[in-house]
């Protein structure tokens, strides 16, 4: 069965420091991976995706993610965190069938402190 | 995403009541989805639809039904609401792209409380 795990419920980082939000996945075949962010009282916003090609994917708001096939990971990163980055982050993998369904991780709350 | 709207945004109801949540989109996408979000569980798929005549159950469809009234409209109904259906509900859309790996676009969510 396909699954996504986000091992940290919460990540705390000081403003200006680099941040990493972890994600590991389990799929058969090639993974199609996504990161979404949810700000309070808002829907999910797409950040970036990995389909194929370069292992380092760049997305919105200065975020990037590194795909590592051997470690089955797709960690979200940002070189310098902002207080406004504080939100709930979801990693997702596309279902292997032709449905377009996404399987989501549990979510990780990112808290950036001034 | 303003192109995907949900009504109502908040709803409090009582056990046994029938509730309908509505979703509309102006993105012209064929595919629409309903998810529920619970703390610590992420988002789980309730139903999805490829077009008006193609509706499919997701992983947690029990207690829910849907209607795809048009390409742009996809409604979720709780025929007889129960307290464990208290959650944040999201509608999403996606394009039928090659390989079906296009991202989904989410509405702002409906917070439903069942007393």
Mutate one of A2, A3, A5, A44 to test the B interface: name it (highest B CB count within 10 A): A44
**pLDDT confidence of residue A28:** 84
The residue among B46, B47, B6 whose CA lies nearest residue B23 is B6
pLDDT of B65 > 90? The answer is: yes
pLDDT of residue B70: 94
pLDDT in tens, B31-51: 999 999 998 888 999 999 988
Judged by average pLDDT, the poorest of A69-83, A97-111, B52-66 is A97-111
Which residues have CB under 8 Å from A89's CB, separation 6+?
Answer: A6, A21, A35, A36, A37, A38, A47, A76, A107, A108, A109, A110
CB A27 within 8 A of CB B74: no
Encoded tokens for A37: 């962010």
Specify the pLDDT at position B110: 96
Q: For residues B15 and A33, what is the distance between their CA atoms, to the nearest angstrom?
A: 38
* A39 touches B: beta carbon within 8 Å: no
Of B33, B94, B101, the CB nearest to A51: B101
Q: In terms of pLDDT, which residue wins out, A76 or A97? A: A76
Tens-digit pLDDT profile for residues A7-66:
999 999 999 999 999 999 998 888 999 999 999 878 899 999 998 888 999 999 999 999
Measured between CB atoms, does A8 come within 8 Å of chain B? no
Question: Closest by alpha carbon to B37, among B112, B115, B114?
Answer: B112
CB B75 within 8 A of CB B69: yes
Report the pLDDT value the prediction gives residue A26, as an integer from 0 to 100. Answer: 93
Give residues with Cβ within 8 angstroms of B82, minimum separation 6: B15, B63, B114
pLDDT at B98: 56
């Amino acid at each position: 069965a396909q699954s996504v795990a986000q091992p940290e419920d919460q990540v705390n980082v000081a403003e200006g420091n680099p941040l990493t939000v972890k994600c590991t996945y389990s799929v058969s075949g090639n993974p199609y991976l996504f990161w979404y962010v949810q700000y309070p009282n808002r829907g999910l916003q797409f950040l970036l995706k990995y389909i194929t090609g370069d292992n380092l994917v760049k997305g919105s708001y200065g975020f990037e993610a590194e795909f590592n096939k051997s470690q089955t990971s797709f960690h979200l990163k940002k070189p310098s965190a902002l207080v406004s980055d504080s939100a709930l982050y979801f990693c997702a993998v596309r279902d292997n069938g032709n449905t377009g369904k996404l399987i989501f991780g549990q979510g990780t709350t990112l808290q950036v402190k001034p | 995403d303003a192109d995907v709207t949900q009504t109502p945004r908040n709803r409090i109801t009582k056990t046994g009541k029938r509730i309908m949540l509505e979703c509309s989109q102006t993105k012209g996408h064929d595919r629409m989805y309903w998810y529920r979000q619970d703390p610590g569980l992420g988002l789980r798929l309730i139903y999805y639809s490829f077009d008006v005549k193609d509706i499919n159950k997701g992983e947690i469809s029990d207690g829910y039904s849907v209607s795809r009234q048009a390409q742009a409209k996809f409604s979720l109904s709780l025929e007889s609401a129960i307290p464990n259906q208290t959650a944040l509900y999201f509608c999403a859309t996606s394009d039928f792209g090659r390989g079906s790996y296009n991202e989904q676009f989410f509405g702002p969510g409906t917070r439903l409380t069942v007393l």
